[in-house]
Amino acid sequence: MKTIFIVDDSATNLVTAKKVLDGKYKTYALPSAERMFQLLAKIIPDLILLDVSMPDMDGFEALSVLKTEEKLKNIPVVFLTAKNDVKSEIRGFEIGAIDFIIKPFSPPVLIKRIETHIETDRLIKESLRAVQKVHNATISVMANLVENRDNVTGGHIERTQKYLAILVDEIIRIGLYADQVSSWDLDTLLPSAQLHDVGKIVVSDLILNKPGKLTEEEFDLIKLHCFEGERIIADMIHS
């Protein structure tokens, strides 16, 4: 069951909206933006119905804060408002609202609008997952292509990815570099670790699989794979 936050300083609006949505969605009725942010520390909803006119922190301010938080910025937000003016709508859309519902709202209209947005959000997430799956498969093919040229380091790529996952989990657990880590996309970061040796693709097989000790010149050529890998990945990002 999808989760919806209803944020409104009017007890009447909270009761009405919750009554309409209960049973179809798991709802939380919250009387202020402050209470919303307190609950967001524990629960990430599928959609937020956010009143525009509230004391202390209004809906525009609350949405602006949401958009600065990495784990919160993609939550769909629909404004509930008695204001029916173009200026307010433009401001809301510029900040990141996905829709406006005018109060007093019609229960059937409220349900239908929410259904539409949640279904759209689901389709978008499914599409993104499909793209991510293709992206990760492409990385894996490239990494295996490189590793299969090297008769010495079999399994190295898989082990490196596992080691990185362990390190990242521990960094998150102890809160190290929390500001930086909060912006990491782990679904991309961990699979991308497979590309750490992709620069070897430009190294000659004669050097890469030489049975004996490398000459100083050959060792210098091997070391260049780091710079070549950086160039290849940069080309992938900007292509």
pLDDT in tens, 188-199: 888 888 888 888
| Ordered DSSP codes for 87-106 | HHHHHHHHHT--EEEESSPP
Instruction: Let me know the angle formed at the C-alpha of 171 by 169 and 176, rounded to the nearest 5 degrees.
Output: 155
Digit-coded pLDDT (tens) for 37-54:
999 999 999 999 999 999
Report strand pairing: 47-51 vs 3-7.
parallel
Digit-coded pLDDT (tens) for 136-184:
777 777 777 777 776 655 577 788 888 998 998 999 889 888 878 877 8
- The Cα-based distances of 205 to 51, 148, 150, 208 in angstroms read 64, 11, 8, 5
What's the whole-number mean pLDDT along residues 6-20? 92
3-state secondary structure at position 5: strand
| Structure tokens, 131 | 């793209």
Q: How many residues does the chain have?
A: 239
Q: Please give the backbone phi and psi of residue 48, each rounded to the nearest 5 degrees, phi first.
A: -120, 125
Q: Is 5 exposed, middle or buried (0-12, 13-18, 19+ CB in 10 A)?
A: buried
Which pLDDT band, with edges at 50, 70 and 90, does 3 fall under?
A: very high
Residues of the chain with CATH 1.10.3210.10: 130-238
Give the pLDDT confidence score for residue 52 in this predicted structure. 92
Give the pLDDT confidence score for residue 76 in this predicted structure. 92
Give the Cβ contact number of residue 26 at 10 Å.
Answer: 14
**pLDDT above 90: residue 9:** yes
Of the candidates 29, 73, 22, 20, the residue with the CA atom closest to the CA atom of residue 49 = 29
What's the whole-number mean pLDDT along residues 6-11? 94
- Of the chain, the percentage scoring pLDDT greater than 70 comes to 97
What's the whole-number mean pLDDT along residues 108-115? 87
Give the pLDDT confidence score for residue 152 in this predicted structure. 58
Strand partners, 51: 80
Digit-coded pLDDT (tens) for 81-98:
887 778 888 888 999 999
Identify the CATH number of the domain defined by range 3-105.
3.40.50.2300
Which pLDDT band, with edges at 50, 70 and 90, does 21 fall under?
A: very high
Greater pLDDT, 135 or 52:
52
Identify the CATH number of the domain defined by range 130-238.
1.10.3210.10
Place of tokens 């401001």: 91
Residues of the chain with CATH 3.40.50.2300: 3-105
Q: Is 48 exposed, middle or buried (0-12, 13-18, 19+ CB in 10 A)?
A: buried
